[in-house]
Amino acid sequence: MPDVIVAADAPWVVEDVRSVLSGPTDTVRIVTAGGLVLPAVEADKPDLVILDLQIGSMGAIAVCMDLRLEEGAGRLDHIPVLVLLDRRADVFLARRVEADGWLIKPLDPIRLRKAIRALLAGDTYEDPTRRPPTVAVAPGHR
């Protein structure tokens, strides 16, 4: 039932997302350039926006920032944004632009479905893939 905009210019990314959102009532609109996302969001008012990190000359970080600036100015309602990151180090950027969730590529249907469900439910999603382990410090050591 969700209405989703996917911004990606890599066919495999589009197919991975479409395979998860393939229900009879799901609406998936594909945008292949970052500069086309804001007009598509304004026109369609989707339930979720999924952004690939690299989309031509305007990638996910710039697009998410654009959406959040429009939201902050009162010209756009909050729309959850899921960013598809290339590496764990990019998590910093996703947090910085206030993405609601992120996944580290390569994608798999289980994590993608979990992330989409969480964001559509109003939650956030932080992909645990390749997260550094927490290190316990013994008492008396720093």
Return the HEC string of 81-110: EEEEECCHHHHHHHHHCCCCEEEECCCCHH
Q: What is the pLDDT of residue 86?
A: 94
Question: What domains, with CATH codes, occur in the chain?
Answer: 3-126 (3.40.50.2300)
In the chain, what are the helix, strand and coil shares in percent, each to the nearest 5? 40, 20, 45
- Model confidence at 57: pLDDT above 90: no
CA angle 130, 84, 13 (to 5 degrees): 115
Q: What is the pLDDT of residues 25-45, one digit of tens each?
A: 789 999 999 999 999 999 999
- The pLDDT of residue 82 is 98
